[in-house]
Structures are given as structure tokens and as C-alpha cells.
Structure 1
């Protein structure tokens, strides 16, 4: 699976597109294309750091995510949230689409990315939404102050409508999402000594590994394995401070595969070996009592 980041926007081949535009500050990228698919056109699973908005003027496509599928008909606009793992399948026949990508950096200046992360939805207020998109496209290469203010206002209005259209879903799903993630964190905190890979969590909670990874990214701004390693290292530090156990025994008890793995992760995180840490921080028996 190819994971795509911001640099993908620098390398899009404009020769294969009907139109490709950046504004000078790269707040947005606008793409449009028209043609005919002789067979199903498939974009393999991937995710973007930027918000993606696709309007279908002609044709039909389906967006697949770990949560399900969203069919985008002619005249529909679909919003694909930041860091949302998705696959796109476009039907055969004539197609015509316009696509806007909004820079995550611009979004973070004005709102929390969690409001639109991991979201895919069909726009309901199509007329108002398209009016803002049309203004954005019209002004994307205008440099005068008046046009730039209207351009930025259009982006903000688009973001506001996106949040408005997902707000009820967010409220309904908030408790469920928090409960699920809390259960995952509790499981990790009580099974860190075991070999709990992402695949293991996926089987335990019946979610894809990609979805679990996105939960950690969205809620803790870290990866699952970084979080797991921190839990293990915190436990190792406690044992180094309060026991005389060997490094090997501590490594196994904390879920590391061997002593070398413990030492390697410890040095990477704390810039000293477990033995050096123990020498400086070990609590003597009389202090404990």
C-alpha cells in the first residue's frame, strides 16, 4: 500500500490532466479532468494529509473506506477527510470531475483537524457549497488583496459547511468512538508484555489495522507502536528504579523481545542505557520502606 504525503502534490503530472492550479501560497490545489474510462478505473488504498473534495459533473464513482462505501453520482460532491484511508473505483464511460485539495496547514490555523479526520460524506447543501467552490476556483490565481480575501473566505466557508454537515454525526458517534479508543488503551495497558501487534488489536476489536492506526494519530498524535513502546519503557524505568532484576528479565517482563531491544529503545528515547539510568535513579530499599 502506498501512503501518500504532501509531496505528492508537488509531483502531480499536469500533462495528464485537463487543468491543474495551485495558488501561490499553496493553500489549495485544484484539478479537473474529462475523458472516458474503457474499464473500471481504480485508485488503490491511500490517504492524504490534505482535505479532498471531488465534484462529479459526469460519471459515477465509489469511495471505499474501513467504515463502508460511499457512492458518488453525477451532480454529487464528496468530501474525503484528512488521513482517511480510502480506495476509489470509477465506473466505465464518460467522466468529468473537479477536485479541490485544501492544505492541512491552512486548516490547522483555523480549526482542529479531528473535526474532519477519518470522514467521508456526500454534501447535502450542494448549491451553497458549489457557490463557494466556484469562487475559490475563479480566484485561485488572483494576487490582489481583495481577491485574496475573498479566496480565503471561500476556503473558510467550505470548511464551515463541512463541519456543519458532519456535526450531528460527530455528536452521535463521539461517545462510541471515545469508548472504543478507551477500550483499546486499556487493553494495551494490561497486555503490553505480550506480542500485541496491530494485527492482534485488529482481531481483538474487529477493526482494520488502518482504522486503529488512525485512532492513535487522531487522538494522541502518535503511532500505535510509538505509544506501545512508551508504555513498555515506562514500566521498565519503574523496575529499574525499584528492583534488582537483570536487564534481560526486565526486557521480557515489559514485552521487549530481548535485552538488546530494550537497550536500543531506551537509548533512543532517553539517551542513556538502562544501567546508566538505574545507577542514577534507583530507589534504595530503606527509601521504599
Structure 2
């Protein structure tokens, strides 16, 4: 069975893409530019200390090394993600690695020419890859990728900033990765902020501010969400009792688990388990993500709905000007040729 999970590298083009079922909580910190298009459902996004809700068709573009996290607010929430290779934009703009940016849509602009075009090219890329490998498919894939990348860079160029760090070590990938890795490995037991502060080399107050600034949520909230993520996986994929799952995921008791679960998902653990087993998709697990099968008809239909679109008027205007100049040059050339004949 094939799944919407692809990597592509050819000459200067380098990207990966996938369509996945958004989990209860997923944190990202990586060196690629990320483009996320929400296909179905709603998610809470934490990015650059800002927490906001994304609705279907909303898009967010995030610069490399910016921590961000997603929390599904509905069942069967599905997203399309494209990661642009670390060095792709830097081939054209040597300063690109210094830029920080977050570009996102909301109800006021999700249907504007830029985001509409972005969905079109992203959908074409996924459908072309799903259609198999061939020389013509590869050419069309690169065509749509380059169109997408150029339009994205144009938007980035308008809003980019060069972030000045309060401490050079704060934003280094290695330092933050160590802190996150420790939590990921130890969240099932009692874990204190002091432990994390020692790993990062900061005092407790600074570490607390650091987490809030990078993730938009507190250290305690981050740990809680990791525990809830593990709990939802266990509820959907095991027959263990709710009490056993609660303790195994790091909760003090089943009461604390029920309260936290109801607060975040607006349902009980038992009801969540029932819904998860009733509603199934053909997926495979990859790096904590449930990748969607290419046979899911509703996802295919949704991608196909993005295909008809009108080019951005900015680029159409540029094309019209170019055509007018070409026509003028052609006329001048014809006049010169006619004068020579005479």
C-alpha cells in the first residue's frame, strides 16, 4: 500500500512532503522551512510564543529552527506538510539562514491569491508523486515545486527579520534538543524544572521563560501534553485499563488523568477510546505521525479541489507588461528589417 510520504532530491531541489493525521501533541524543531496546510479539522498551533487556532485550509510557513507544536482539537484532523531542504533558499540568498519569519492565513486571507496558489501547487506535487515515477512526472513535479518555492520566497522577503538572540546559546539546536530529549525520555516519571535548568545551564526562572518563549506553553503544560499524547496512543491501540494507562503515562492517579483529558479533549478517556476504534483510517506510523494512505478517497478529492485556480494578479500583471515589451521590441525589429529591405 502506498502512502502520502515522499522525499525528493535532484540537483538543487531538495524537499520532503507528507499528509498525516495530526496527533494529540507534536513538537517540531528542525532546520528546514516548513509549510503546513490544514486539510481537515482544527488544530491549536504554538509558535514564537503565540498560540492560535488553525481552521481547514489555513496555512502556516515557519522559518528554520523555530520551535512549534500542534495539538489536534478534533478527531480525524489532517494536514499536508512540505519541508524545504535546509540549503535550497540559501543557494539563491546567502543570508537566508539568518532570517526569522512566520506567515500564516486566517479567515481574512485564506482564500487570497497567494494561499490559493500555494494549495494548488502543493496538491499537484502530492498527486503527481502518488501517480508514480516517470520522466514527465518528475518534470511537472519540479515545475510545481519551483513555482511554490518562488511564491513563498516572495512572501518571506516582505516580512523577514533577523532575530537578535538574548543569549547566543538560547537558540542553538543542540542545547534545546538536549532539554527536549530529556523530557521526552522521562515524562513518565516525576520530572522537575530544576532538572531541565541544569541541562540547559540556566537558572530555573530563565528556563521557565525560555520554554514559554520558544513553545508558547509552560514547561508543566509541555510535560502534560506529552503524557496525554502517549495516553491517546495507548487508548487507541491497546486494551489496557484506563487506570493502568494513566499511571504508565506519568499521572499521579486516574482522577488527575480524567480531569486533564476532559479539559484538553472535551471527552472522557473511555469515550475517546470508543471513538478512535469506531473511526479508522488506513495509516502507518512514522516519527509519531500517522501517514495517510493514497487510497483515502476524501483526501484525494480534497487535493483535486485545489487544482482549479486563477494565477496571482501580481504575476499576471508582470506577464502582461513583459508581453507588451516583447510586442514593442518585435514591432521595432520589424521596422528595422523593412527599412533595410527598402
**Shorter-chain-normalised TM-score: which range?**
0.3 to 0.5
Higher relative contact order (CA 8 A, sep 6+): 2
